[in-house]
Amino acid sequence: MPFLPVTKEEIDVLGWEVPDFVLVTGDAYVDHPSFGTAIISRVLEAEGFRIAILSQPDWRSTEDFCRFGKPRLGFLVNSGNIDSMVAHYTAAKKRRGDDYYSPGGKAGKRPDRAIIVYCNRIREAYGDIPIVIGGIEASTRRFAHYDYWTDKVRRSILIDSGADLLAYGMGENIMKRIAFLLDKGVPVHKLRDIRGTVYRCAKDEKPHYEKVETFHYDVLKSDKEAYAKAFKIQYDNMDHVKGKAVLEEYDDCMLVQNPPMPPLSRSELDKVYSLPYMRNYHPCYEKEGGVPAIAEVKFSITHSRGCFGGCNFCALTYVQGRSVCSRSEKSILEEAELIAAMPDFKGYIHDIGGPTANFRHPACSLQKENGVCTGKRCLFPTPCKNLNADHSEYISLLEKVEKIPKVKKVFIRSGIRFDYLLAEKNEKFFKRLVANHISGQLKVAPEHCSDNVLKYMGKPSFEVYKRFQNRFYQLTKSMGKEQYLVPYLMSSHPGSTINDAIELSLYLKANGLNPEQVQDFYPTPGTASTCMFHTGINPFDMKKVYVPKTYEEKRLQRALLQSYKPENAPLVRKALETAHRTDLIPILLPHGKRSAQKKPNNEKRKPVGRKFKK
């Protein structure tokens, strides 16, 4: 099965007069099930619809948007696999020099706020043709939202883009329903009852579902307490069982979010991953060096969706939801066999994972009928008594994939929830992980060592990580291996003071950890942490939160996490002086300011994690 058409000439070869839908995306076209554009286009194709892909169009005029002619049913628009503003700017708001999802990794192939710009061009070209927006940028900006790049609360992207309908979350069944109704001749403005969608209507129009109201946009953009309350209402209605329609008022209309679409069943998910993906970028990008984003996923397998981990800085709850669903062993084994048959396969499956690699089923048996608990979390602050911590099915899956001919090794590279791993009564998975599925280093995400910061992150106490770390190295030693933990760390998260950063710096120093990369907290739309950053309020208890906001304080906190770098010495000294902890200068800066000498080019870097000493 070939790639879907990307040019008018390909449309003509297929004998189409016009496509049913033109799917516009800010990414290069990669026909692989790790890319939302590929999934939605193949799902609709399987339903009998003709889909053309308009990848990274020139947004400076309408010419590219007219490439295929006027589609029969409408345009589907996304910004790509990530928010276009995140694709373009670092947490320090500096312009990025590359783009992982563009040909040759070159930046500049998509506009800022891509969905809004694309929709404006479509309206300019075709007037009132149906436009449906989706993907991460639409999902996380579906309500009035804090925009870090302008430091303002912006309106819903549905209103700013002028689109007719917004599909949020995982869109397969949503888009199938939309396409079916449009094909039957139902006007797009009549599509009011589809779960997983957001629409505009007159203020006196009654929603199809039981409703809960938030606030007028004018209140949300000026009243931080109201903003925090609205976020909590949105968060509590993200469950497909208990969720209600959420209303947000504007001057001339009402914004209505219907309850979420239920997660796909196992058979439905299997079908999605059995579609005829080409599993690579379109060959038109070959001359530019291909698309870098394919490298990490080409030999990886997604086995699950959804996450009940509940980290406050992550938008997964807002997009995929807290209910976990997964594919069958048969489906995954078939994909593994496809990968093993690829001519450039070297014998290594890079990952069998998902949002959280070791989540394969719902957190407990009660969720199927009752939905996820409102006001409670499965793992935070401690694992729920009803938690079903069981890796047996995941272990069986890994074992079977390893037995496929040509497969030498199966690695696990997506995130492991170590608190969930430790909650299981036996260590069978833990031992298997250490023995079979680590390529020298295991990336884990304690994020911080201060329990004060961790509670605002929605992460477990640091004692849990230390217990995991100690046992990891015990198992590593007992197996005669030399393996390391690579901790992900975050600076300047809401709740983090200079003293918290100093605590983490001391921990890193005491444990011989020199992190080469530290992530500054990035306030992206759709997360509880971003709500805290904007409002200074924890939306879950409405209590005030300290927020490090100034550029100077962020620099100091980040420098403390990398105090080993000579160039950071002045900042570390200033941070210690600011906190009145000059007594720690001999510990964190034993050589004073240190001369900023570069390492010889031939010197090998030490692993980021702690090496186990035999």
Could you read off the pLDDT of 114-144 as tens digits, one per residue? 999 999 999 999 999 999 999 999 999 999 9
| Tens of pLDDT, residues 204-217 | 999 999 999 999 99
Residue 195 CA to residue 378 CA, distance in Å, equals 25
Residue 472, CA atoms < 13 Å, CB-side half-sphere: 28
- C-beta of residue 322 within 8 angstroms of C-beta of residue 310: yes
| H helix or E strand, kind and range, residue 370 | helix 367-370
DSSP state of 47: T
Nearest to 27 by CA among 283, 299, 282: 282
pLDDT tens sequence across 179-200? 999 999 999 999 999 999 999 9
Decide if pLDDT at 568 tops 80: yes
pLDDT of residue 590: 78
Q: Which helix (H) or strand (E) holds 535?
A: helix 528-535
- Is residue 613 scored above 50 in pLDDT? no
pLDDT greater than 60 at residue 606? no
- Would you state the structure tokens that stand for residue 381, as one six-digit string? 């602050």
- Closest by CA to 81, choosing from 29, 125, 155, is 29
* pLDDT confidence of residue 516: 84
Range 60-72 average pLDDT: 97
**CA–CA distance, 362 with 77 (Å, rounded to integer):** 31
Give residue-wise pLDDT tens across range 534-566: 999 999 999 999 999 999 999 999 999 999 999
Flag whether pLDDT at 602 surpasses 70.
no
**For the chain, what percent of residues have pLDDT higher than 70?**
96
Q: What is the mean pLDDT of residues 329-335?
A: 98
| Token pair belonging to 103 | 């040909």
pLDDT at position 592, please?
55
- The rounded distance, in Å, linking the Cα atoms of 43 and 34 is 14
**pLDDT tens digits, 143-170:** 999 999 999 999 999 999 999 999 999 9
Average pLDDT over the chain, rounded to an integer: 94
* Alpha helix segments (H runs only) across 404-488: 418-423, 428-436, 451-457, 462-478
Question: 490, 520 in Cβ contact below 8 A?
Answer: yes
Closest CA to 167 of 194, 133, 200, 143: 133
**Number of C-beta neighbours around residue 241 at 10 A:** 14
Beta strands, E only, 85-217: 131-133, 145-147, 152-154, 165-167, 197-201, 211-216
Contacts of 202 (CB under 8 A, 6+ apart): 253, 254
Question: Mean per-residue pLDDT for 490-494?
Answer: 97
Question: Which residues, other chains included, contact 451 with Cβ-Cβ below 8 Å and sequence gap of 6+?
Answer: 461, 462
- 302, 283 Cβ separation under 8 angstroms: no
Distance CA 451, CA 175 (A): 42
How far is residue 429's CA from residue 391's CA, in Å, rounded to a whole number?
6
- pLDDT (tens digit per residue) in 310-319: 899 999 988 9
Residue 593 confidence (pLDDT) above 70: no
Q: Nearest CA to 134 among 159, 166, 156?
A: 166
- Helices 569-578/551-561 angle, 10° precision: 110
Mean pLDDT of 502-518: 93
Contacts of 459 (CB under 8 A, 6+ apart): 311, 380, 445, 446, 447, 448
The pLDDT of residue 595 is 37
CA gap 136, 122 in Å, rounded:
20
Phi, psi of 346 (to 5 degrees): -105, 5
**pLDDT of res. 179:** 98
Which 3 state secondary structure label does DSSP give 553?
helix
Domains present along the chain, CATH in parentheses: 8-200 (3.40.50.2300), 475-614 (no CATH)
How far is Cα 387 from Cα 423, in angstroms, rounded to an integer? 9
Extract the runs of DSSP E, i.e. beta strands, from 183-263. 197-201, 211-216, 245-249, 254-257
* Number of residues that make up the chain: 614
3-state secondary structure of 561: helix
Residues 6+ apart with CB under 8 A from 53: 3, 4, 5, 6, 22, 23, 25, 29, 37, 41
Whole-prediction pTM: 0.94
pLDDT in tens, 382-418: 999 999 999 999 999 999 999 999 999 999 998 899 9
**257 close to 168: Cβ distance less than 8 angstroms:** yes
User: Which element (helix H / strand E) includes 490?
Assistant: strand 484-491
Residue 155: phi and psi, rounded to 5, are -70, 165
pLDDT of 62 reads 97
Report the run of H or E that residue 396 belongs to, with start and end. Answer: helix 392-402
Q: Using DSSP, state whether 580 is helix, strand or coil.
A: coil
User: What is the average pLDDT across 282-304?
Assistant: 96
The SS3 call for residue 350 is coil
With a pLDDT cut of 90, the percent of the chain lying above it is 93
Q: Which residues of 310-342 are buried (b: 16+ CB within 10 A; e: fewer)?
A: bbbbbbbbbbbbbbbbbbeeebbbebbeebbee
The residue-averaged pLDDT of 477-484 equals 95
**Chain segment 425-466, per-residue pLDDT in tens:** 999 999 999 999 998 999 999 999 999 999 999 999 999 999
Task: Identify any residues that bridge with 442 across adjacent strands, giving them in sequence order.
Answer: 485
